[in-house]
Amino acid sequence: MKESSRQKKGALRDKILFPFIITDLLIVLLSVAIIIPVISGVLKNTLKQKGLYIAESVALHSLEYVLTENQLELIKVLREEQELHKEISYLLITDLKGKVICHSFKGGLPMGLEKANSLGSHQKNNIILLDTGKYFVYDIAVPLTVQGVLLGSLRVGVFNESIPRILSKIIFMLIALISLAIFIKILASYWFTLAAMEPVKKLQRATEAMMCGDLSVRVRINSKDELEELGNAFNATLEKLEQILVSKDELSREVVERKRAENAALAVNAKLEQNVEELAEAYAKLKESQKELLQSAKFGAIGQLASSVAHEVRNPLAIIMQSIEYLDCKVAPEDKEIIQMAKHNIQRADTIVATLLDFAKEKGLNVVPVDINSIIEDSLILTHYSNREGKIGIVKELGKDLPQVLVDRQKMKQVLVNVNLNALQAMPNGGTLFLRTYLAEFKRLQAGGENKNGDQPLPVKKAVIIEIEDEGAGISEENLKNVFRPFFTTKEETMGVGLGLSVAKNIVAMHNGLIEIKSRLNQGTKVIITLTVKEAPNGKEEDIDC
């Protein structure tokens, strides 16, 4: 990791330097390529100019000697001139026909040189390049004129070889200079790069320190550029980080606390949920009891109505009763039966009133230990009238040795009469009425309050079950919801007032029992009454009635 970071360190520098060097070299090459021809051109010209200048001055000097045909002086001038200028290879003077009059060559005129050059048209300067075999020479011919009269020409041979020499000298110096410049530049750029890289390195070092956990490091960059900004940002970040980490303990403590709080919240939530459940349960119960209350309020209202109705009905019944009995001894013996019938129906009317009043009664349960089967028999006697045509077969499947149950005999009889009557009425075309009683045992749902011996098995709850099943019309699902409602009836006015089952339910509920109805339309109905068996406390009978 450290190595690679170090590699990167160099890489960045190289990345910056390498292009610099390459571009520098390219520039040098380019400039050399451009400069050399230019310089050589310039050199050639200067050489030519120089030659021309020398030639013209020599021509001016030697004019006098040409006129006087002083050969010796001419040669002297030429040789002096040649020695004066290194560049001059030779000097020669020709006559008008181009014939060499004198020359500076010590060992004689080289072959072909005489005719090599001549004045151009109009007697103007003429420069040509001569190849001597050994080297190149610019042969410069200038006219020799005196007051406009052409006497001949002066030719100067200038070495061309000095041009490459000078050129190479110049190029060498150029390259040397450029190289020096590049070297300096590289050094400078290296140094500058290093200087510029310094903040980066600082940042790198600081970052490394930070990575090792030292958060107190700060970078000091005064480069007045983006890097300084970066450094400041870095410092600010560290500052913040340090702040965060300084309060790390606090934070972690807070986290712990928060977690604890969260757990607590969760617990509370769980409890809340439980509470909500309980609440929902309580609400359901409340609703149920509200319903019951409403029902009982209804019952209360009905009760008041019932007792006043009862009073109003019983008074005329009393009168009728007394009247009929008054007549009893006055009618013929064969009509006594009619008197009896009237009395019987008065009793019936009174029973109805009594039922209504029972319905309204809340207190007055007169519970005694009772053999349920005997109540079944009683109820059958009372409902026998409804089956006087004998269309309905009655099948009794009564359990033997059933425990006695604490019930109000009269009221329970009322329940069974009501249920039996419904069953009989449901079978107008005959059928079978099943009456069953049996003992059921089941585990008590809630643990007993005084369950001191924890391992004791849950007490067994016993109940006597009464089933009254018919093969009648059955009850539709819709009606099944309503059968226990007071005054709900599907029967004609003369047949039922819709109080039978609500009275039955009321009474069973007073005994802490349960009454359920299962029914299938057109198949039959089964009413199930469950009465829990309590161990009867001996001799403790709640006899309220007088």
Partner 1 sequence: MAKKKILIVDDELDFLKIVKLNLEQTEKFEVLTLSSAHELISHLHSFKPDLILLDMVMPGIGGIEVCDMLNDDLLGKTLPVIVLSALDKVEDKLLAYKKGIVGYLTKPIEKDALIAKIESVLESRFKR
140, 426, 464, 465: which one contacts ligand ADP (CB under 6 A)? 426
The yes or no reply on residue 39 touching partner 1 (CB under 8 A) is no
The yes or no reply on residue 317 touching partner 1 (CB under 8 A) is yes
What's the 3-state SS for 107-139?
Answer: CCCCCCHHHHCCCCHHHCCEEEEEECCCCEEEE
Give the C-alpha distances (Å, rounded to integers) separating 291 from 70, 72, 288, 531.
164, 162, 5, 23
Question: Residue 88 and residue 192: Cα distance in Å, rounded?
Answer: 53
Q: Which does 525 bind (CB under 5 to 8 A by kind): ligand ADP, Mg ion, partner 1, none?
A: ligand ADP
Give the C-alpha distances (Å, rounded to integers) separating 190 from 5, 99, 182, 196, 447.
19, 69, 12, 10, 93
194, 265, 293, 544: which one contacts partner 1 (CB under 8 A)? 544
Give the nearest distance from C-beta 491 to Mg ion in angstroms.
7
Question: Residue 362 and residue 357: Cα distance in Å, rounded?
Answer: 10
Give the nearest distance from C-beta 546 to partner 1 in angstroms.
6
Q: Which is nearer to ligand ADP, 190 or 488 (CB)?
A: 488
Q: Which is nearer to ligand ADP, 166 or 313 (CB)?
A: 313
Give the C-alpha distances (Å, rounded to integers) separating 139 from 127, 132, 159, 295.
6, 11, 9, 147
Q: Are 267 and 325 in contact (CB under 8 A)?
A: no
**Tokens representing residue 90 in the block:** 């030779």
Give the C-alpha distances (Å, rounded to integers) separating 255 from 15, 27, 269, 286.
48, 66, 20, 43
Question: Residue 231 and residue 235: Cα distance in Å, rounded?
Answer: 6
Helices then strands, each counted (H, E), the chain: 11, 12
24, 87, 470, 471: which one contacts ligand ADP (CB under 6 A)? 470
Other Cβ atoms less than 10 A from the Cβ of 545: the count is 9
Question: Residue 493 and residue 502: Cα distance in Å, rounded?
Answer: 17
Binding segment toward partner 1, per CB under 8 A, in 135-143, 144-152, 343-351, 462-470:
343-351
Q: Which does 228 bind (CB under 5 to 8 A by kind): partner 1, ligand ADP, Mg ion, none?
A: none
Q: Which is nearer to Mg ion, 496 or 524 (CB)?
A: 496
The yes or no reply on residue 310 touching partner 1 (CB under 8 A) is yes
Q: Which does 254 bind (CB under 5 to 8 A by kind): Mg ion, partner 1, ligand ADP, none?
A: none
Q: Which is nearer to ligand ADP, 419 or 465 (CB)?
A: 419
Q: Which is nearer to partner 1, 329 or 332 (CB)?
A: 329
The yes or no reply on residue 357 touching partner 1 (CB under 8 A) is yes
Question: Residue 213 and residue 460: Cα distance in Å, rounded?
Answer: 72
The yes or no reply on residue 513 touching ligand ADP (CB under 6 A) is no
Helix, coil or strand: residue 150: strand
Give the nearest distance from C-beta 322 to partner 1 in angstroms.
4
- Could you please report the per-residue DSSP string of 331-349? S-GGGHHHHHHHHHHHHHH
Binding segment toward ligand ADP, per CB under 6 A, in 119-127, 157-165, 169-177, 472-480:
472-480
Q: Which is nearer to Mg ion, 431 or 500 (CB)?
A: 500
Cα–chain center distance at 398: 69
Tell me whether residue 141 is exposed, middle or buried, using C-beta atoms within 10 angstroms of its C-beta: 0 to 12, 13 to 18, 19 or more. Answer: buried
Q: Which is nearer to partner 1, 477 or 545 (CB)?
A: 545
The yes or no reply on residue 431 touching ligand ADP (CB under 6 A) is no
Q: Which is nearer to partner 1, 232 or 315 (CB)?
A: 315
Give the nearest distance from C-beta 438 to partner 1 in angstroms.
35
Q: In what order do the strands lie in the sheet with 524-532?
A: 392-398, 431-443, 460-470, 524-532, 514-520
117, 189, 489, 506: which one contacts ligand ADP (CB under 6 A)? 489
314, 409, 461, 534: which one contacts partner 1 (CB under 8 A)? 314
Question: Residue 97 and residue 121: Cα distance in Å, rounded?
Answer: 14
DSSP bridge partners of 127: 140
Residues binding ligand ADP: what is the number (CB under 6 A)?
23
Binding segment toward ligand ADP, per CB under 6 A, in 20-28, 273-281, 418-426, 431-439:
418-426
Q: Are 393 and 343 in contact (CB under 8 A)?
A: no
Q: Which does 19 bind (CB under 5 to 8 A by kind): ligand ADP, partner 1, Mg ion, none?
A: none
List the interface residues with partner 1, window 412-451 (CB under 8 A). Answer: none
Give the nearest distance from C-beta 363 to ligand ADP in angstroms.
23
Positive or negative CA dihedral for 280, 284, 285, 289? Answer: positive
Q: Which among 328, 347, 350 is positioned nearest to 339, based on CA atoms?
A: 328
Binding segment toward partner 1, per CB under 8 A, in 43-51, 130-138, 268-276, 356-364:
356-364
What's the 3-state SS for 404-445?
Answer: CEEEEHHHHHHHHHHHHHHHHHHCCCCEEEEEEEEEEEEECC
Question: Residue 304 and residue 360: Cα distance in Å, rounded?
Answer: 7
Each residue 162-201 as x (binds ligand ADP by CB under 6 A) or -, in order, gives ----------------------------------------
Pairing outcome for strands 405-408 and 367-370: antiparallel
Q: Which does 198 bind (CB under 5 to 8 A by kind): partner 1, Mg ion, ligand ADP, none?
A: none
Q: Which among 153, 125, 138 is positioned nearest to 47, based on CA atoms?
A: 138
The yes or no reply on residue 415 touching ligand ADP (CB under 6 A) is no
Q: Which is nearer to partner 1, 313 or 536 (CB)?
A: 313
Q: Which does 471 bind (CB under 5 to 8 A by kind): partner 1, ligand ADP, Mg ion, none?
A: none
33, 329, 332, 460: which one contacts partner 1 (CB under 8 A)? 329
Q: Which is nearer to partner 1, 178 or 310 (CB)?
A: 310
16, 116, 320, 536: which one contacts partner 1 (CB under 8 A)? 320
Q: Which among 89, 62, 223 is positioned nearest to 161, based on CA atoms?
A: 89
The yes or no reply on residue 491 touching ligand ADP (CB under 6 A) is yes
List residues binding partner 1 (CB under 8 A). Answer: 307, 310-315, 317-323, 325-326, 328-329, 343, 346, 350, 354, 357, 361, 363-364, 544-546
List residues binding ligand ADP (CB under 6 A). Answer: 418, 422-423, 426, 470, 472-475, 479, 483, 488-491, 496-502, 525
